Amino acid sequence: MPKQEESKTVRYTKDQMFDLVADIDRYDEFLPWCNNSKIINTSIEGNKKIVIADLEIGYDQLVYTYRSEVKLHKDKSEINVRNLDGPFKYLENNWKFIAVNEFECEIQFNIDFELNVIIFDILMKKFFDLAFQKMTDAFIDRANEIY
């Protein structure tokens, strides 16, 4: 099953990058293959804000909506995501934001998933490295655009 990890230092603060990644309602504006993004519900659980969100992902006629639970740590250090429903057998991804100095942060990102839809899973496995790079670059490009 596709697994990927990446770490990058960017010229934005950890709070800026956390806020960008936490802004799920805007994913459809910049994230490749994301046709729609919508927050369904939010709640507070200890030191985390819990967000239930739907993302419509796909290309051409292969379009699916999946629901995920997103845990946003109040100290803006981490975001944890797991799927609740949709075309994934499972999906987990984690973001960590570590301040390097007052102007830069290190972003650590990992993802692990498997799709229920066989044809989509085969395609994703074949193009996963390219797709992963496009998605991570999209967040940095978005930061360049808004900050």
Q: CB of 36 within 8 A of CB of 25?
A: no
**pTM (2 decimals)?**
0.87
Instruction: Please give the pLDDT value at position 71.
Output: 98
Q: In terms of residues, how long is the chain?
A: 147
| Average pLDDT of the residues in 112-124 | 70
pLDDT at 121 over 80: no
Average of per-residue pLDDT across 12-22: 97
Domains in the chain, ordered, with CATH?
A: 7-142 (3.30.530.20)
Q: What is the DSSP string of 29-93?
A: GTSTTEEEEEEEEEEEETTEEEEEEEEEEEETTEEEEEEEEEEEETTSSEEEEEEEESSEEEEEE
Instruction: Give strand pairing partners of 94.
Output: 80, 110
